[in-house]
Amino acid sequence: MTLLIQYEGVLQTHRDQPILDGFRLVQSLALGHRIVLMTSGTEERVTHQLRTEKLQDKIAEIIDKRVDLPPHPLWKRQIEVARSRYGLSVVLTAQPEVAEWVVEHGVSSLFFAHPGFNRPAQRPDQSNRSWVELVEELENRLS
């Protein structure tokens, strides 16, 4: 099983700090699964953090911003690249629109909501929705 994990929001805060709960989750998911990371940054930056958190050997690949193909969002391109290379099973993300898009395209999604992103300005998608609006939006989409 291959899991694609979005680095920003799951393993890194908006202030470039590690999210320890995310690293613990990835450590446990890495047992018996292939882990691929996608990042809006560079592979070198992510590799440094992975070395620091002793997770580098558990990552099969890092799909960084080099695969960008405007005008599409980078994350869509990264998901498509991962699907073509690995037969993607699950996407772990902190962005609701990514989770929704993935499910609509036939891949399971895990939504990671860290308390450090409870204010809209702190979320990876930098939107202006409050937590209540986010919950309402997800409930409306699921009903």
Alpha carbon separation from 76 to 73, 115, 116, 123, 131 (Å, rounded): 6, 25, 25, 18, 24
Mean pLDDT in residue range 117-124: 54
Q: Please give the CATH number for the structural domain made up of 2-142.
A: 3.40.50.1000
* Rounded-to-integer distance, Cα 125 and Cα 110, Å: 17
Predicted model pTM: 0.78
Residue 115 in tokens: 């308390």
Q: Are 90 and 1 in contact (CB under 8 A)?
A: yes
140 has a pLDDT exceeding 80:
yes
Reported as a single tens digit per residue, the pLDDT across 40-92 is 999 999 998 898 888 889 999 999 999 999 899 999 999 999 999 998 999 99
Residue 84 in tokens: 């073509």
- Per-residue confidence (pLDDT) for residue 49, from 0 to 100: 86
Reported as a single tens digit per residue, the pLDDT across 10-39 is 999 877 888 999 999 999 999 989 999 999
